């Protein structure tokens, strides 16, 4: 039987484990409640750069030694940066957990941020930025976030810009690290063949030098959804189009309702958008809906990829499906969406890496692991009336966000989209 155990150390660092019987491996990592959104204006991209630099040498290990030591035992180590979180994680056999903890502690407390390594890594990230700019389905999402949250850190691309990345110094990286990588916002999570008390003891020994309190108050401005219109005409084979609306934060009453609505509209091959737009009308080769939650805001979006000649018909059909969702939803659709979410939860528990990430997100968002039964109970309270009411408020009461890239000559102007949504308040908001 799987069992989640949680210990908060005197330093404020939280350790959470879940023993998964019959496994020989462990997935473990350090999750920090800090990401690109915690950067100051002149730090754009530093959270992502720090994630790269953590593997580029410590006082005890060179960059090559970090890679070799974990791979010599058949393990792997990696990291990721998002808008509100950063994670460093490893996957090893159970006998090598002490090594994984030692390496993770080493890169997070003893990194040297060598000038020459920093110079090389800056150029690696410049290539990453260039590759993203050459990928239309990446660009359209970056523009989408920037347009939805105009002139705010929550809407900025995580990678930063070539100018900001090239400007960073080791001192700036250390300052960001000291301000954000503190025990009050860090969680060490392990899932698999674990012994909780042993991991707690090892973590206490190796992570003792972490700063306990921020050197200065964390940077986090309240998000303000603006909406807007971003179009970039490029000579491409197809057009990438995103239509979005203000969603709901993780703690909002309608968060889970928004997740169900996104699933019904565009969560799979049986969803409304897939069936109507792709299967019935053949207007695109890809269409889906999504809902992203943040700590104080959210974004609901529909993404479609299609030939430019289909745009005149595509947008009205999508908007018509949004309108239908505000007046009619079947109970069977709700049950199917619940079943898909439940399956994702349970399938995730079969992977120690997925399970560790799941627990870490719950700790950062809610301060405790959330049992599956509790999650399903929240979903069970969602009714047809709640969904149609939410759809009406989401799609027809707030300013939309449009982001598009490709051959856009036949994409309707924003004034026509606003008119078809009948959103006077949205038009006023965008005009302001």
Tell which residue, 216, 176, 164, has the closest CA to residue 35: 176
For residue 376 the two structure tokens come to 């399903």
Tokens of 350: 């079969």
> Which segments of 150-214 are extended strands (E)?
186-192
3-state helix vs strand vs coil in the chain, percent to 5: 50, 20, 30
Look up residue 304 and give its two tokens.
């479609």
- Spatial contact of 364 and 35, defined as CB atoms under 8 Å apart: no
User: Can you tell me the distance from the alpha carbon of 359 to that of 41, in angstroms, rounded to the nearest whole number?
Assistant: 31
Nearest in space to 348 (alpha carbons), one of 338, 358, 334, 363: 358
Q: Which among 77, 72, 74 is positioned nearest to 105, based on CA atoms?
A: 77
Say if residues 250 and 293 touch (Cβ distance below 8 Å). yes
**260 near 253, Cβ under 8 Å?**
no
Select which of 18, 39, 43, 51 is catalytic.
51
Residue 51 annotated among the catalytic residues of the structure: yes
- Which residues are identified as catalytic? 51
């Amino acid at each position: 039987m799987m069992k989640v155990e949680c210990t908060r150390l005197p330093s404020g660092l939280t350790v959470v484990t879940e023993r998964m019987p019959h496994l020989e491996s462990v997935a473990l990592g350090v999750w920090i409640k800090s990401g690109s959104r915690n950067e100051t204006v002149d730090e754009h991209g530093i959270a992502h750069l720090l994630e790269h630099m953590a593997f580029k040498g410590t006082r005890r290990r060179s960059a090559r030694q970090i890679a070799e030591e974990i791979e010599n035992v058949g393990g792997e180590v990696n990291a990721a940066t998002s808008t509100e979180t950063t994670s460093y994680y490893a996957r090893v056999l159970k006998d090598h957990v002490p090594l994984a903890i030692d390496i993770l502690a080493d890169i997070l407390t003893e990194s040297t941020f060598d000038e020459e390594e920093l110079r090389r890594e800056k150029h690696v990230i410049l290539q990453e930025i260039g590759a993203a700019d050459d990928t239309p389905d990446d660009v359209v999402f970056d523009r989408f976030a920037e347009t939805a949250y105009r002139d705010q850190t929550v809407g900025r691309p995580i990678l930063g810009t070539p100018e900001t990345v090239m400007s960073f110094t080791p001192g700036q990286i250390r300052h960001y690290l000291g301000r954000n990588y503190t025990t009050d916002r860090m969680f060490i999570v392990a899932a698999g063949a674990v012994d909780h008390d042993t991991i707690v003891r090892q973590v206490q020994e190796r992570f003792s030098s972490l700063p306990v309190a921020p050197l200065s108050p964390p940077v986090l401005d309240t998000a303000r959804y603006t909406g807007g219109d971003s179009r970039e005409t490029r000579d491409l084979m197809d057009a990438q189009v995103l239509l979005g609306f203000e969603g709901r934060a993780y703690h909002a009453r309608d968060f889970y309702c928004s997740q169900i609505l996104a699933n019904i509209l565009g969560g799979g091959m049986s969803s409304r958008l897939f069936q109507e737009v792709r299967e019935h009308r053949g207007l695109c080769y890809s269409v889906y809906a999504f809902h992203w939650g943040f700590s104080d805001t959210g974004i609901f979006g529909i993404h479609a990829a299609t030939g430019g000649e289909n745009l005149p018909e595509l947008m009205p059909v999508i908007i018509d499906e949004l309108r239908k969702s505000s007046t009619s939803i079947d109970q069977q659709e709700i049950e199917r969406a619940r079943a898909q979410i439940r399956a994702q939860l349970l399938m995730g528990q079969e992977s120690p890496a997925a399970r560790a990430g799941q627990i870490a997100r719950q700790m950062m968002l809610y301060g405790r692991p959330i049992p599956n039964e509790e999650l399903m109970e929240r979903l069970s309270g969602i009714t047809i009336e709640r969904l149609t009411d939410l759809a009406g408020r989401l799609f027809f009461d707030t300013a939309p966000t449009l982001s598009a890239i490709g051959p856009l000559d036949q994409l309707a102007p924003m004034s026509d989209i606003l008119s078809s949504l009948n959103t006077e308040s949205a038009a006023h908001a965008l005009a302001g």
